[in-house]
Structure 1
Amino acid sequence: MKGPVPRSALILTAAGVLPFLWGVLTLLSDSAYQLAFTTIGGRFVGPYVQLAYGTVILAFMSGVLWGFATKAHPRQAPVCYALSVIPALWAFFMAGGGPVSAGMNLIFGFLGLLALDWQFWRWGLAPRWWMHLRLPVTAAVVACLLVGVLV
């Protein structure tokens, strides 16, 4: 896990955690919930924002892994491409149902994504700094989703 994370990647990743944090805030604060519900709607409060956004992000991260797969040796590439679509398929098939089961499935999806991140990094397909970025952001996302599951 060598090298500093580029500033732009760090800032954009931190911004990407904001919808998960917003979901936590609206779960824990009745006034934040009411303000958001009345001004921007029910899709943007509590677990609903976390589940919708988490599904989008898992699909997005499949695209990131696909990009890493393009760097693979031709004999390794088919495995990398196949692995890269797993997060999107997981989100599509497992993020439905009620907020608790969908939240738990997203947690497992993000933990599985972290394992794929590590593998692509280990193979030298991800940037050297990749795991410095992915470990803390995954911890933050999982913690936020846990609040949505437990509250």
Structure 2
Amino acid sequence: MFASLIRRCFQTNKKIEKLTSLFPNESRKITTHHLSIPNMQRIALHQNMKYLQRSSPFWIQTSSFYVSSQASKMKKVEEPEKRELDLIRYDFKELKNSPKPALYLGCGGLIPFVSAPLFMAITETYFPELAFAQIAYGATILSFLGGTRWGFSIPENSPAKPDWLNLGNSVVPSILAWIALLFHDNLTEAAIMIVMGLGIALHYDLNLLPGYPSWLRALRTVLTVVATFSLIASIIIKNTYPEKRLV
């Protein structure tokens, strides 16, 4: 019975569409009365429409699910936003979250770098012993930076694997530090070698190799910049003020 009602409903809809296509101007005036539908058919059509209205939420949900599934398949995978100037825009914001021991020890490690040129600038005298002590300390720091990268690569869950790239580049700062100490007779060249080593170590940590946490990247940058300008200040003082030995 229900199947016959559905067929009659669809036949009625087809008749309406056919008449609408034949008389487009009179489409608004076409009703079921013009089709001479018997009372039983109109009652059946009315009941069928009520059934379809009751079941409409199910069809709406089914159709929306189908559309959403198709849209999800067609949707392109969004690429992660390219972060430009990560160090300035993102990492420096995490500097305040640095662990207190790392922050205090890192800033305290700048004292040997800063104290030597500061003392020579105040006395307006270039002391080669202080300059060499600054360079020797810089060589020690370079070896320390290479060792931290080596130690960062050793753990099993570390993002930096113990391959030739990571372990090989970890040795480079120590080699540059050793070469700098060989120029003890020419402290300018030794200071330039230390500056180059600091720059290369920072470049490795920020760009080439798997990076450290954001707070450490920012802290490393600040410490490297201060140490570099301290060495440059010693070179300027050497070429500006008269030389005098402490002993």
- 2:214 pairs, out of 114, 125, 128, with 128
State the alpha-carbon separation in 1 of the partners of residues 210 and 201 from structure 2: 15
**Residues 64-120 of structure 1, C-alpha deviation per residue, up to 9 Å, x if partnerless?**
11112222465x633111111110011112343211111111111111111012136
Contact 2:160–2:210 (8 Å) recurs in 1: no
State the alpha-carbon separation in 2 of the partners of residues 13 and 115 from structure 1: 18
Contact 1:95–1:105 (8 Å) recurs in 2: no
Structure 2: state its 5+ residue gaps. Answer: 1-90, 238-247
In the alignment, residue 80 of structure 1 is paired with which amino acid? N
Contact 1:87–1:113 (8 Å) recurs in 2: yes
Q: When you count helix as a share of all residues, which structure comes out higher?
A: 1
Q: Identify the residue that residue 12 of structure 1 maps to in structure 2.
A: 105
**Residues 120-141 of structure 1, C-alpha deviation per residue, up to 9 Å, x if partnerless?**
6x624x2332211011111100
C-alpha displacement at 1:28, in angstroms?
Answer: 0.8
Q: Identify the residue that residue 149 of structure 1 maps to in structure 2.
A: 235
Alignment: residue pair count: 139
The structure-2 alpha-carbon separation of the partners of 1:73 and 1:114, relative to structure 1 and needing over 3 Å to count, comes to closer
The structure-2 alpha-carbon separation of the partners of 1:7 and 1:77, relative to structure 1 and needing over 3 Å to count, comes to same
Q: Identify the residue that residue 115 of structure 1 maps to in structure 2.
A: 203
State the alpha-carbon separation in 2 of the partners of residues 147 and 68 from structure 1: 32
Structure 1: state its 5+ residue gaps. Answer: none
Matches within 5 A, 1:28-47: 28-30=121-123, 43=129, 45=130, 47=131
Matches within 5 A, 1:43-122: 43=129, 45=130, 47-70=131-154, 71-72=158-159, 74=161, 77-97=163-183, 98-119=186-207
Contact 2:180–2:191 (8 Å) recurs in 1: no
State the alpha-carbon separation in 2 of the partners of residues 112 and 27 from structure 1: 28
Which structure carries more relative contact order (alpha carbon 8 Å, separation 6+)? Answer: 1
In the alignment, residue 117 of structure 2 is paired with which amino acid? V
The structure-2 alpha-carbon separation of the partners of 1:150 and 1:73, relative to structure 1 and needing over 3 Å to count, comes to closer
The structure-2 alpha-carbon separation of the partners of 1:26 and 1:48, relative to structure 1 and needing over 3 Å to count, comes to farther
State the alpha-carbon separation in 1 of the partners of residues 146 and 123 from structure 2: 35
Contact 2:139–2:178 (8 Å) recurs in 1: yes
| Paired-residue identity, % | 26
Contact 1:103–1:149 (8 Å) recurs in 2: yes
State the alpha-carbon separation in 1 of the partners of residues 213 and 233 from structure 2: 31
Give the number of the structure whose alpha-carbon radius of gyration is greater: 2
Contact 1:20–1:49 (8 Å) recurs in 2: no
C-alpha displacement at 1:148, in angstroms?
Answer: 1.0
